Structure 1
């Protein structure tokens, strides 16, 4: 193994960093509102089914390519593909996806830090609950404010990586993930004590098929399939890198199940924070992105000790977003070291400078460049997100799948042997036909759906 790239100091570190990569704003921001808009508990049920049917298999494939090659994604493909093949071209698209993701994710992560400071310093205590929406609007209108918090995220993120894989990435993510899990349980416990909380829990966890029929069962299934797929950030090699740092001691199926279980736990418990609070304060739970920045701050302001609960919530959101930022940054750093033979220090400096500059369009997209529409009527952030979420994630997952299951790529037998190396849960060989013929169709459906306006 390349000493310059380092490796994890412990198995727990690997699981927490990999889960941290998967656990992002989508779990806490997107999951509750998509569940709310799609009838609650029936959506959650289908979400769990698709996580097992799609998420875990594709995750084992990314991890298998990483562990079998010991390289980042381009070099990984080059090592495993047959002579004269060109699967590694997809590796370059993966890295494009990771760069694009960080060009807008750093801004959204900065929003979380900004709101943490606003709650902690008591700014929300000084305004009327009805004017909470103005706080979000004025933040978006101020490129300086957003730029500072975006830059803090980038500088601190690469600063963590400068300490190395085990001493930086692993140690900081361990602290953040343990803090995140503790915070989410405390916040959910508090939400469950609110008046009318039981109604929120019922909406969220007791399946009501009539409500699902009203939304349209096809729409609910489709939304669950999408959320289960996108929650794990599969398809752009963001998870593959952590396979390259793994030992052969444990099977990949077992590790993928643990990562998915942690990811799902955070998403489900986030719902237990949000739904009881929404029902206690008569707030519509299917409200979309404004739920986090307008609705929930209003709810916290109406609570006893709301300043403390709001501060804790945005600490939790900062941890959730920053764990993804550091994990994907690690991918970028290792990528340049692997492909160009650069030292870790040089790779961190070049990547840091590039991401700082490349994140500016997203910051300006809400104010100075608010008239700029790149894809259709989408602004900068939505355009970048569309390319990553609707094209590169499902398209990339399909390529990983075909590489691991067809004779034109690495092949199912080699994938299965790598996945089942070590102690723990085995991937059954009888799933071969499901992986080869059914799973590609499911991913194709998601890809096509994402391209239909």
Structure 2
């Protein structure tokens, strides 16, 4: 039975339900891309690096680097019909490429271990907001600190991984696809509702102007690299997710059109996030560039000051929780797909083992927050921060660089699998061979602190 299933996967058959429908694949890929990054990280880096001018730069980087690499990852996944490691081996015939692919799998696993903690924060804050307890105290920094000093983050981390595992255990079509078909439309509705509420605030125009009226004098070389890095990472590139999802795509699916749809969905999500965050921060005198604390410290203060703040605050954190879960699902599927192929385990056993290990690996990150375990903070960073730093600045750029070099130089069947011809094909290959590797390398060197701007 397992041999037949493996053969079916490689030949492009249904593979016991391990296939996306056309719309299901696009929604799942959009769900993987529109995680917490666009609602949590995007607003404060936009505030730090130039507002509307930075947003325009982000769009350009998304088009010239993000989309070509996204198409490359999807093509590798569908062409290899396996996990991020075996797909590279099957297409190249060399195990060395598989080793590079395993790095992306390991990256997804480690990212999930600490990403689940942040996803848990959003669930906790949604509950506090709906019950009104979030606004019982005006010191939101202290509230967030006390929360992380407790063991509640571990409970929420467990709940996030449990829910993610439950979805993944149901399979590709019955689990991942159905989940995203419900949550992605729900995300859009919540985004629109919250954007309308933010734009209706008195004085919202100043925030909209900051977000949409470019001042190019605020841009710098550092802004360009940060925009490039966020465009790359906001599409879930370099972590094996798009290669894994690509393995479940039907051969009749146009990867070019799917790439445009996913990129468009990611861009719309970032745009609506900006229309929510910037009018709100400007109206209530908040600093949009203050960093990660913007969401969990500054915005609760804004919601407490507006009519029906408990409702809109709750909806905002539910939105974040939805976005986080669509990403945790894609992250968990990456190592699960690898374990299923490597050990020939059933999906249920694979999910249980990987999810359990992910929870255990994530415990040091959860315990390093606050004052629970002091020895988990070293070198000026908590264990949580170190995991984030290593994955974001080393593992993911390396994974992205591997894919661009593999598709650009090593894989002869890339053009056929991508479905591009003529000018489009030549442009795509030029970007992958010359532009994307250089820019990704620059992001890597800058993020790792090797070059300074």
Question: How high is the TM-score relative to the length of structure 1?
Answer: 0.93
Q: Which runs of 5+ in 2 are unaligned?
A: 1-7
Offset from partner CA, 1:196-226 (integer Å, 9 cap, x none) = 100000010011223x1xxx52222222112
Q: Partner residue of 2:3?
A: none
SS of the equivalent of 1:207 reads: coil
For residues 117-128 of structure 1, what are the structure 2 equivalents within 5 Å?
117-127=127-137
Q: Partner residue of 1:133?
A: 141
Asked if the contact 1:336/1:347 (under 8 Å) is kept, the reply is yes
Name the CA distance, whole Å, in 2 between partners of 1:344 and 1:85: 25
For residues 263-342 of structure 1, what are the structure 2 equivalents within 5 Å?
263-342=266-345
Q: Partner residue of 2:447?
A: 450
CA RMSD after TM alignment: 1.8
Name the CA distance, whole Å, in 1 between partners of 2:135 and 2:231: 37
Asked if the contact 2:64/2:431 (under 8 Å) is kept, the reply is no
Name the CA distance, whole Å, in 2 between partners of 1:431 and 1:173: 29
Q: What is the Cα deviation at residue 372 of structure 1?
A: 2.3
Offset from partner CA, 1:135-181 (integer Å, 9 cap, x none) = 101111002x1111111101111011222211111111211111011
SS of the equivalent of 1:452 reads: coil
For residues 426-445 of structure 1, what are the structure 2 equivalents within 5 Å?
427-445=424-442
SS of the equivalent of 2:79 reads: helix
Asked if the contact 1:251/1:426 (under 8 Å) is kept, the reply is no
In the alignment of these two chains, the number of paired residues is 438
For residues 82-161 of structure 1, what are the structure 2 equivalents within 5 Å?
82=93, 84=94, 86-127=96-137, 129=138, 131-143=139-151, 145-161=152-168
Q: What is the Cα deviation at residue 267 of structure 1?
A: 1.1
Q: Does 1:259 align with 2:262?
A: yes
Residue in structure 2 matching 1:63, options 74, 80, 83: 74
Q: Partner residue of 1:410?
A: 411
Name the CA distance, whole Å, in 2 between partners of 1:425 and 1:327: 33
Q: What is the Cα deviation at residue 426 of structure 1?
A: 8.5
Asked if the contact 2:84/2:334 (under 8 Å) is kept, the reply is no
SS of the equivalent of 1:239 reads: helix
Question: How high is the TM-score relative to the length of structure 2?
Answer: 0.93
Q: What is the Cα deviation at residue 39 of structure 1?
A: 1.6
Q: What is the Cα deviation at residue 315 of structure 1?
A: 0.5
Name the CA distance, whole Å, in 2 between partners of 1:8 and 1:426: 31
Asked if the contact 1:253/1:425 (under 8 Å) is kept, the reply is no
Offset from partner CA, 1:356-391 (integer Å, 9 cap, x none) = 2111111101132234235x3221111111111101
Give the 3 Å change call, closer, same or farther, for CA 332–208 of structure 1 in structure 2.
same
Residue in structure 1 matching 2:238, options 231, 235, 239: 235
Q: What is the Cα deviation at residue 349 of structure 1?
A: 1.3
Which 4+ stretches in 1 moved above 4 angstroms?
Answer: none
Offset from partner CA, 1:284-324 (integer Å, 9 cap, x none) = 11110000000000000000000000000000000010100
Moved more, 109-118 or 73-82: 73-82
Q: Partner residue of 1:226?
A: 229
Q: Which runs of 5+ in 1 are unaligned?
A: none
Offset from partner CA, 1:64-99 (integer Å, 9 cap, x none) = 1110111111111121113x5521111221111011
Residue in structure 2 matching 1:369, options 356, 369, 373: 373
Q: Partner residue of 2:36?
A: 25
Q: What is the Cα deviation at residue 4 of structure 1?
A: 6.3
Asked if the contact 1:4/1:344 (under 8 Å) is kept, the reply is no
